[in-house]
A = this chain, B = another copy of it.
Amino acid sequence: MNPELLLSRIRVVLCRPSHPGNIGAAARAMKTMGLADLYLVEPKRFPDPEADVRATGAVDLLQQARVVASLDEALAGCVFAVGMSARQRDLGPPVGQPRETVSRLLSEAEQGAVALVFGNETVGLSNEEVLRCQAAVCIPTDPSFSSLNLGAAVQLMCYECRMTVFAERPPVPAQGVTPFTSPAATADEVEGFFRHLESVMRATGFLNPAQPGRLMPKLRRLFGRARLERDEVNILRGVLSATQNGTGHGHRG
């Protein structure tokens, strides 16, 4: 199925969010990753100017957001739901890692609408809410500081959805610029440079032919790693020539 279509089937459900700023941040996070369908279960303050400010260019998602009275309403029509849960619940679904869970979510989305369900900033999802979900996920924060912001959690999960649906290689924004390259130098051009370099090092006394040590091998290793371009060989030889004849012909280009 078309990746954009699959992403459009994912609802983001925020249960009882306290801070309108987080609702705005969630909308912006969703839109950057190609999601659009936002459900709010009993938001404390919504609509709210603070939500609009944090949403910046994603205010359209806030305007289309559906405000509902219960998680059941938000999940109506969904074939699969994943609840965020910082901990395993006694009777809840097993808590998985983000990638494996998102993978499952997207395969279920082939069948119809699916949901990512986020709890309140302070108390998370209730046990009853988690039991409405067929899977649970814990974003693996540092155990010593697990205070992930709600908008940040939405951002991470939406990003995982986008990465997965595009098999880890989502298209990047149109680039315009083709990065500068010049043709690779041929082996004989590179050898010409090394001979030139060696002769300069000998002439200056930096390389003692009686005790060459590992100087040349080390320089070969360095330039080998860089895989020289023809243009660069010309520049480097220009530098060497300049040190030899002192005419100071500058580099052009």
Give this chain's copy count.
2
Please state if B162 and A140 are interface contacts (CB–CB under 8 Å): yes
CB distance from A251 to the nearest CB of B (A): 15
Known contacts A151-B152, A170-B140; is-contact A146 B32 (Cβ 8 Å): yes
Q: Is A49 an interface residue (CB 8 A)?
A: no
Question: Is B146 a contact partner of A89 (Cβ separation < 8 A)?
Answer: no
- Complex Cα distance, B26 from A31, in Å, reads 20
A248 to chain B, nearest CB (A): 24
Q: How far is the CB of A226 from chain B (nearest CB, A)?
A: 11
Whether a CB of chain B sits under 8 angstroms from the CB of A213 is: no
Q: Interface size of A by Cβ–Cβ distance < 8 Å? A: 54
Contact of A173 with B90 in the complex, beta carbons under 8 Å: no
CA distance A104 to B163 in the complex (A): 18
> In the docked arrangement, what's the CA distance between A157 and B171, Å?
18
- Whether A44 is near chain B, meaning CB under 8 Å from some CB there, is no
**Distance in Å from the Cβ of A165 to the closest Cβ of chain B?**
11
Establish whether residues A172 and B140, one from each chain, have CB atoms under 8 Å apart when the complex forms.
Answer: yes
Chain B residues, CB < 8 A from A92? 179
| Contacts known (A155-B156, A156-B156); A141 close to B33, Cβ less than 8 A | yes
Mind listing 26 A-B residue pairs with CB under 8 Å? A28-B147, A28-B152, A32-B142, A32-B147, A32-B148, A32-B152, A58-B147, A86-B172, A86-B173, A88-B175, A88-B176, A88-B177, A88-B178, A89-B179, A90-B180, A94-B179, A97-B170, A98-B163, A140-B166, A140-B171, A142-B162, A143-B171, A143-B172, A143-B173, A156-B156, A156-B159
Contacts from A to B (Cβ < 8 Å): 25, 28-29, 31-34, 56-58, 86-92, 94-95, 97-99, 138-143, 145-149, 151-152, 155-156, 159, 162-163, 166, 168-180
The 9 A-B residue pairs whose C-beta atoms are closest, nearest first, are A140-B170, A34-B142, A32-B141, A152-B155, A138-B172, A88-B175, A31-B145, A143-B173, A32-B148
